[in-house]
A = this chain, B = another copy of it.
Amino acid sequence: MLLSKYFLPVLKELPAEAQVISHRLMLRSGMIRRQASGIYSWLPLGLQVLQNIINIVNHNMNKVGSLEILMPCIQPASLWIASGRFENYGKEMLKFQDRHDNTLLFGPTNEDMITEIFKNNIKSYKDLPKNLYHIQWKFRDEIRPRFGVMRAREFLMKDAYSFDIDQASAVQHYNNMYLAYLQTFRDIGLNVIPVLADNGPIGGNLSHEFHIQTENGESTIFYDKKFLNLINSKSLDIEKIQSLYAVAEEKHDPTKCSLAPEELASSKSIEVGHIFYIGSKYSKVMNAVVNDKHGNLVPIEMSSYGIGISRLVAAIIEASHDDKGIIRPINIAPFCVSILNLNILDSKCNELSRNLYAQLKTNNITVLYDDTEERVGSKFATHDLIGSPYQVIIGPKGAIKNIVELKNRKTGNIEELDIEVVCGKIISCLN
């Protein structure tokens, strides 16, 4: 992408509306713009991060056999009345009447609707287990939306739902998804800590949240210090992981925790995923039953699995930035490389920049070529701000000798290289 043709409205000033660093950086780097309280537009740079996360989530959901569907934003109230949740959900549910005075709502979650879809279309144990997911915009009318897309009202969530014939199969399904979640966050480039959590209004009696540790987190988690090594080890072993103490704040009881003080860690964190073993809460009340192998009608066993896709975009920035801006994990970076042409009036700078740009594109490496007439200091600031993992800096003094600088955004390390080896070097860094 040529920056001169792109839409990257970076802000030089600190936006007054933002309290936390991720919100400030997302506004400053032109990723999002606010349209109303807790409601945002995604500009090209922000949308590309969102899509990169979606691709990783899709890949891992498909790998575990989950099938993608898409339920609508708007749901009929009748469905929630049938499941008994309509009155209980509270003011976070955005309800309204259509022109014929039917009561509708903007879906805050989809257990009720997926249960209806299941019950109308699947009748036999032979079609189980089944796992369906969708990625759709949801709305929760938070009383005080804040922190940008971290706690927005309109937000993008991946929610999956599994259906099993009995508890044993349901728990195994739940554990497979637990592992798929760990792999998903690992692929994104995040260290997450899965902790035991409350099921809350979703229902059921087993639940885990997945947290990123950050200074500005709204949550607090408690965990066995051995956890970090285990989560970072190459092969994930669910029994070992789940045998260690790791809980959300509301589950932490110091009188019952058997760890010595020096074995116990606690940390501020951001919740980015939440999985629930629900059991038959919805299937019983909505009569979602299948024939088992003896011909008896049994209520299905359900679980649900959420990932806050739009929230993740902010959470990743909270976990990965410095005072100059964003530091993107490679797998979700909109551009792996920024080329900074420091003088677009210099024919040698242009030649080297254009050739490298073409070469990187030929190798399917995402690249933003800064071909604007901005001054040098402004170019440095912009590309540090937007956080491409690698920068290639091409100035007249080096260019005449075919020498350019390759900068690693994370370490700040700068290498002088012959232009001939730059593309190959970047390829080896990215793999």
- The 0/1 profile, CB within 8 Å of B marked 1, for residues 192-213 of chain A is 0000000000000000000000
Task: Find out whether the CB atom of B72 lies under 8 angstroms from the CB atom of A137.
Answer: yes
Task: Find out whether the CB atom of B72 lies under 8 angstroms from the CB atom of A44.
Answer: no
Tell yes or no: A76 within 8 A of B by CB.
yes
A335 to B403 alpha-carbon distance, docked (Å): 50
Tell yes or no: A164 within 8 A of B by CB.
no
User: What residues on B are CB-neighbors of A95 within 8 Å?
Assistant: 96
- In-complex Cβ contact of A69 among B5, B42, B98, B130 (8 A): B42
**Which of A32-40, A257-265, A379-387 contacts the other chain?**
A32-40
User: How many copies of this protein are present in the complex?
Assistant: 2
A154 to B99 alpha-carbon distance, docked (Å): 14
- The 0/1 profile, CB within 8 Å of B marked 1, for residues 57-93 of chain A is 0000000010111111111100100000000000100
- The 0/1 profile, CB within 8 Å of B marked 1, for residues 282-310 of chain A is 00000000000000000000000000000
Tell yes or no: A122 within 8 A of B by CB.
yes
Contact residues, A21-39 vs B (CB, 8 A): 30, 33, 35-37, 39
Given contacts A74-B154, A104-B36, contact A41 B7 (CB under 8 A): no
Q: Is the interface of A mostly helix, strand, loop or mixed?
A: mixed
User: What residues on B are CB-neighbors of A141 within 8 Å?
Assistant: 98-99
- In-complex Cβ contact of A7 among B36, B44, B69, B98 (8 A): B69
Task: Find out whether the CB atom of B76 lies under 8 angstroms from the CB atom of A36.
Answer: yes
User: What residues on B are CB-neighbors of A7 within 8 Å?
Assistant: 67, 69, 121-122, 130, 132
Task: Find out whether the CB atom of A113 lies under 8 angstroms from the CB atom of B65.
Answer: no
A143 to B99 alpha-carbon distance, docked (Å): 7
Smallest beta-carbon distance A141→chain B, Å: 5
A121 to B43 alpha-carbon distance, docked (Å): 11
- In-complex Cβ contact of A35 among B72, B132, B143 (8 A): B72
User: What residues on B are CB-neighbors of A96 within 8 Å?
Assistant: 94-97
- In-complex Cβ contact of A47 among B6, B9, B69 (8 A): B69
CB-nearest residue of chain B relative to A6?
B67
Given contacts A33-B117, A73-B137, contact A67 B91 (CB under 8 A): no
Given contacts A36-B76, A76-B36, contact A41 B102 (CB under 8 A): no
Task: Find out whether the CB atom of A72 lies under 8 angstroms from the CB atom of B40.
Answer: yes
CB-nearest residue of chain B relative to A130?
B7
Task: Find out whether the CB atom of B36 lies under 8 angstroms from the CB atom of A74.
Answer: yes
